[in-house]
Amino acid sequence: MSTDQPPPAEPPEDDPFLKKPPQPPTSGGPPPPGGPYGGGEGPYGGGGGGYPPPPPPPPGGPYNGGGGAYGGGGYGMPDPLAGMPPLADFGKRLGARIIDLIIVAIPLALIQLAFGTNRYMVETNKGEDVSEVITKSYSGAGLAMTLISIAAYVGYDWWFTHRSGQTIGKKALGLRTAMLNDGRVPPSGASLARAAVLWLPTLICCFCLWPLALIISMLVDKPYKQGLHDKVGKTVVVRVV
């Protein structure tokens, strides 16, 4: 369960992602004395008799820690998601990530095609027992291309996240990234840490395993559906409503 949150900050007043203060419930008029199941004037009682009143609901909102849909943390715990839109569905998050991946991958592929860059050098040597020993290492141009890819992917995610909370993919599918504690646009440091955890392991060593680890972390995390990159940046992804 995700309980670690960054300390409250002082975001600008015009930040569109700030959490909205809770609205007091409206009522058409004062309830009859005694409540619906008992008391002096209720329909099932008179003069103080009848059924006892029902217990009050647990404190908190629809996402509260005292039994709500995203609950965790006990009765009376403040809900970090109160005042924020609903959490984003996994399917839309995946779709937005695929859009962002294509946007960055196409220019990088054209660069690599234009320069004919091979990322790796593969050498095959035969040992004394006639078995083949295969070694794989970065070529000089391949290392440069890897560094360019890191700058492109991490820079893309960092720039759009700290600028507006929305990459192009998230904007297309109606999603945004926001700080868990107050709903504001993630600051530069949090956005950079989030982008680094999202992309660096994939681009350096774990092309297949790291995306799978991120997907599993989002699916199993309760109650905020945070991937490992969200936990580092202390962010959540929500729907734009």
Over residues 103-123, the pLDDT tens digits come to: 999 999 998 888 775 655 555
- Closest among 150, 160, 146, 145 to 97, alpha carbons compared: 160
In 3D space, the residue among 210, 238, 241, 233 whose CA is nearest the CA of residue 223 turns out to be 238
Q: Where are the domains of the chain?
A: 90-239
Residue that wins the pLDDT comparison between 38 and 67: 38
Q: Average per-residue pLDDT in the chain?
A: 76
Band of residue 195 on the pLDDT scale cut at 50, 70, 90: very high
Residue 217, pLDDT score:
97
Residue 102, pLDDT score: 97
- Count Cα atoms within 13 angstroms, Cβ side, for 80: 25
122 forms beta bridges with 136
**Whole-angstrom Cα distance, residue 238 to residue 89?**
8
Question: Mean pLDDT throughout 7-28?
Answer: 59
Q: pLDDT, tens digit, for every residue of 142-157?
A: 788 889 999 999 999 9
pLDDT the model gives residue 208: 86
One-letter amino acid for residue 60 of the chain: G
Answer positive or negative: Cα dihedral of 236, 195, 191, 241: negative
Are 157 and 200 within 8 A, CB to CB?
Answer: no
Are the C-beta atoms of 158 and 232 separated by less than 8 Å? no
Q: What percent of the chain has pLDDT over 90?
A: 46
The number of helices, as runs of H, and strands, as runs of E, in the chain is 6, 4
pLDDT tens-digit map of 157-180: 999 999 999 999 999 999 999 999
pLDDT of residue 47: 46
Q: Which residue has the tokens 């949090």?
A: 190
Q: What is the pLDDT of residue 205?
A: 87
In total, the chain counts a number of residues equal to 241
**How much is the pTM?**
0.65
Separation between Cα atoms, residue 87 and residue 238, nearest integer Å? 4
Q: How far is 97 from 172, CA to CA, in rounded Å? A: 11
